[in-house]
Amino acid sequence: MSKLSNMHQPLVTHIFTADPSAHVFEDRLYIYPSHDLDHDGPVNDNGDQYKMEDYHVLSMAGPDSPVTDHGEALHVKDVPWASRQMWAPDAAFKNGTYYLFFPARDHEGIFRIGVATSPSPAGPFKPEEHYIDGSFSIDPAVFIDEDEQSYMLFGGLWGGQLEKWQTGSYVEHAEGPASDAPALGPRIAKLSEDMLSMASEAMEILIVDQEGKPLTAGNEDCRYFEGPWMHKYNGKYYLSYSTGTTHKLVYAIGDSPMGPFTFQGTILPPVSGWTTHHSIVQFQEKWYLFYHDCSLSGGIDYKRCVKLAELTYNSDGTIRMIDPYPEK
């Protein structure tokens, strides 16, 4: 067994990176992170400290290989509809084209999700003139099922504005559900064949406990906060996400990408920094978790670094919890 020299180590140190979405394209691991900026601006629950303006694409021949930074793939100044805050992206390949999905605030300060295309997984990416109609909030994650149907998951609380869309329209001062009410779930929509629009209206994914009851908003150890990701293992759909306020990566399992999903447990306990955001990908015969922490900056929450760890399953399909700091 080869030693994973990159295990639990920052994949790059020349820039700050976060929110890694990993995929296998052209027999390489490609990672699509957000790009944290070094600044001294305000820090608040609205997320103003996350000033990201562009995306760099990273790639590696394997999990223990050197990492290549392919440079700037897309900048907010090149996106006609966007004004600021290019947060966590994702990528997909279909129809011979690579797609980059990304959130940003429009010119009215409302988060929307856009898409850009490229003939290469490394970019650069050319953005569509308008954001995806019907999109809102943050953290797009695209899942392509075995039947080639594509889905986009998205949504994040607080600065991600998900609470503001409970009526189906943007309500500036809307608050989240009461602590004993069902928690807000991520949204999911089918994507069109050309991957540039929604083929169905976004619906909320239901996440339930082992007794089949909806997770409540006050259950901060389990309920959804942001950063959805979907993968498939042994015929089951796995929905993983961040709990936000309790700083964990957790997961639920279901029989359909549309849900419902039954909560299972923790993938990654809290790491250095407030946010946690991830992706899960199979490369050759093994599975890997890509995540971030703030170790590169000494704990500064908006100066993060992308890392990876091997992910393993128990015989019943549950995921074994990963120790993010095994050497301590």
The catalytic residue positions are: 40, 204
Q: How far is 236 from 173, CA to CA, in rounded Å?
A: 38
Measure CA 118 to chain center. 20
Write down the number of H helices and E strands in the chain: 0, 21
What token pair was written down for 116?
């850009």
CA angle, 13 then 19 then 24, to 5°:
90
At residue 277, the 3 state secondary structure works out as coil
Of 98, 88, 85, 87, which is closest to residue 124 (Cα–Cα)? 98
Cβ burial 192-202 (10 Å sphere, 16+ → b, else e): eeebbbbeeeb
Using DSSP's 3-state secondary structure scheme, residue 78 falls into helix
How far apart are the two ends of the chain, measured CA to CA in Å?
A: 23
Q: How far is CA 2 from CA 63, 212, 300, in A?
A: 10, 42, 33
